[in-house]
Structure 1
């Protein structure tokens, strides 16, 4: 079959790879209907996420049709249309039973790597390095889905493939930021990053009752899309003083909840950007936490900061003094998809959540390298590239 393979830094190619097979009685094989590039994939392309090997199939956000079922699968049958959570959950361990699915104890097949790096191993994820299990990714014609009774979720009638696609990762990730960030009715929420995840976090904040939602980015086409689709307020940090704008919007206090949806390669026009670039090139830090610093600095006293962006290791100049002296709650997580996806599919079916607008560039899998180039370089107003095998 054809699949998009990582061959090195900024080098992805569509190649022939072996067809997947059922390896465990809880597996299904899925014929991929749609998959999409994700902002966290760009960290693979630039080499920020280690433990990649040439030939690895990338991609983790997808939906499709079940074509083969292991004998231990009870919730799916051949022909079912499903969306797949990007993190694989066994459904039986302590973490899965407590709805902390991305922390599953049993799905990362290479736990020693992350135990040494982070002190514990999270769950396995499709197409995201051997540190996260080494599973083949979704930019392929077919994918093996382990623990399918928990990892694959049926798509309701009335939800089209394109809308369901983003319920795999972008929508639950954004929703988690607003939910676990503690958004309450009447709150003012600020979101750093206006890609798919940032837009979904903003919409989630609205649906959880936020009175005002402000989204921060530097790309006008993304800000316009969010404003047009969800009616949020937008701030281009290259044109306005974000801190002053947030204080003005909140009577001088700052937002109640700040959600960071940028990640380890954050950009800035200030001197901190140069500082972080130099530190990372010298291997004195692995990630650039610019948006995290800004969220902590601008959050109101006693407020909440939630980190959604992907970070791989260590950062410098973390404002711990601000966290302590402002009495902030700071949380972060990879998405607990199985906790949210069924509810989110129902909201999509009811028209409460719009997701299809994110797919600005839909193309055959054969053109996936071009799709990643468009996505990475923000060419042609690309928000998300979507691939059809």
Structure 2
């Protein structure tokens, strides 16, 4: 089969690799009908995540048709169209039973290594380094889905691939980020980054009836989409002082909640943070917490800091400010299974149209290496890439 494979920093290739096979009775094999490139994949491309190995198959946003099952009594059957969450869930451990699916205690085959490198292990993830289990990803023609009797969901009748695909990751991720903000309605929320997750965070804030939704973004196409998603205000950090503008928009108090949709590759634009950013980017530092530090400074006392952005190791932040302001910080990989069914209903009812951010489509994985570069470099107005493989 054909698949997009990691071959080193900034070296993504479409290669012919062996087809996957059933390894356990709980497995299924999926023929991928649609998959996407996620912003998190760029961390792999840029060499920011450790333990990647040459030939690793990328991709954790995918869906498709079941073509083989591990046992005759499997809950999934051949021909089922399924959405596959990016994290793998055993369904049996305490975390899964508490619906903390991203913290599944059994699905990460390399949990001990991950805990040693990063301080704690997440669940097993598709296509996302050997720290997350070394599972082959879904930017491929076929995928083995382990523990497939738990997380995958059958596609609701009448729902297209493009409507369903982002239920695998970025829509639940944006939604969880705002769910963590405990909105009651009428609050002011500021969201750093209007990439795909940021756009869905903005949309989620609008659905949850935030009173004011402020996006911090400097890429013109993303700024426009932020307004389409529901942003009432957009701050361009390349031309405006973010802190000053936030004070103006909140009567000097700061937002009630702030959301980090940038993560470890944030860039500073002004002052000392801007100078440090330029130095660290030249040194290819993997941890640049400028957005996170700015959010801690900006949020009102007793406010909430929600962090869906990816970090791969320790970062320096001002804990004194966190403590003195009495902030609540909530973070983590997304518990996709917790949200996937209610979000599917919102799509069916027309409350959320997840297709608005797709800018690039391809019918062939052979286009993958170039589209990775286009997405990384934000060329040609690229915000989201989707492959339709039939």
Superposed pair shares fold, TM > 0.5: yes
Match in the other structure for 1:26 = 26
Kept in 2: contact 1:264–1:289 (CA 8 A): yes
Deviation larger for 85-94 or 223-232? 223-232
User: What whole-Å deviation, never above 9, does each CA across 1:177-230 have from its counterpart, x for those lacking one?
Assistant: 000222221111110010110011111112122111111111011110121243
Structure 2 residue runs of 5 or longer lacking an equivalent are none
Q: Residues 199 and 229 of structure 2 are in contact (CA less than 8 Å); yes or no, is this contact kept in structure 1? A: no
- Cα distance change, pair 148–268 in 1 and its aligned pair in 2 (3 A): same
**Is 1:103–1:122's contact at 8 Å kept on the other side of the alignment?**
yes
Sort the Cα spacing of 1:135 and 1:72 in 2 relative to 1 into closer, same or farther, 3 A. Answer: farther
Paired residues of 1:25 and 1:73 also in contact (CA < 8 A):
no
Q: SS of the counterpart of 1:148?
A: coil
After superposition, the C-alpha distances for 1:116-164 in whole angstroms (9 at most, x for unaligned) are 1233321010000001100001100000111112221111123210121
Which SS does the other structure have where 1:30 is aligned?
A: strand
1:89–1:150 CA contact under 8 A, matched in 2 = yes
Check conservation: 2:30, 2:144, Cα contact below 8 A: yes
CA distance in 1, matches of 2:207, 2:280: 40
TM-score (normalised: structure 2): 0.96
Q: Is the 8 A contact 2:265 2:286 kept in 1?
A: no
- 2:360 corresponds in structure 1 to 361
User: Which runs of no fewer than 5 residues in structure 1 stay unpaired?
Assistant: none
Q: Is the 8 A contact 1:83 1:153 kept in 2?
A: yes
Matches within 5 A, 1:103-122: 103-122=103-122
**Alignment map for 1:270-281 (pairs within 5 Å):** 270=270, 271-276=272-277, 278=279
Alignment of 1:1-389 (within 5 A): 1-71=1-71, 74-230=74-230, 232-270=232-270, 271-276=272-277, 278=279, 286-316=286-316, 318-363=317-362, 364-389=364-389
Residues 225-256 of structure 1 deviation map (CA, whole Å, 9 limit, x = unaligned):
12124354221111222222222222211111
Give the Cα–Cα distance (whole angstroms) in 2 for the partners of residues 3 and 281 of structure 1: 32
- CA gap 1:312/1:280 in 2 versus in 1, 3 angstroms: farther
**Aligned equivalents of 1:158, 1:24: Cα separation in 2:** 31
- Whether the aligned pair in 1 keeps the contact of 2:89 and 2:147 (CA below 8 Å) is yes
CA–CA separation in structure 2 for the residues paired with 1:249 and 1:80: 49
Tell me whether 233-242 or 348-357 shows the greater mean CA deviation.
Answer: 233-242
* Runs of 4+ off more than 6 Å: 280-283
| Contact 1:280 1:287 (8 Å CA) reproduced | no
CA contact (8 A) 1:73 1:149 kept: no
How many angstroms apart in 2 are the aligned matches of 1:344 and 1:10? 34
Rounded Cα–Cα distance in structure 2 between residues aligned with 1:231 and 1:298: 18
**Compared with structure 1, are the counterparts of its residues 279 and 222 closer, same or farther at alpha carbon in structure 2 (3 Å cutoff)?**
closer
Quote the Cα distance in structure 1 between the aligned partners of 2:146 and 2:199.
30
In 1, distance between residues paired with 2:145 and 2:365?
19
Distance 2:120 2:38 in 1: 25
Contact 1:188 1:211 in 2 (8 A): yes
Question: What secondary structure, in the 3-state scheme, does the structure 2 residue paired with 1:40 have?
Answer: helix
- Structure 2 residue matching 1:51: 3-state secondary structure: coil
Following superposition, the deviation at residue 351 of structure 1 comes to: 0.8
Cα RMSD of the aligned pairs, angstroms, is 1.6
CA contact 1:85–1:152 (8 Å) conserved in 2 = yes
With over 3 angstroms needed to count, the CA separation of the structure-2 counterparts of 1:156 and 1:281, relative to structure 1, is same
Q: Sort the Cα spacing of 1:73 and 1:331 in 2 relative to 1 into closer, same or farther, 3 A.
A: farther
Distance 2:233 2:15 in 1: 43
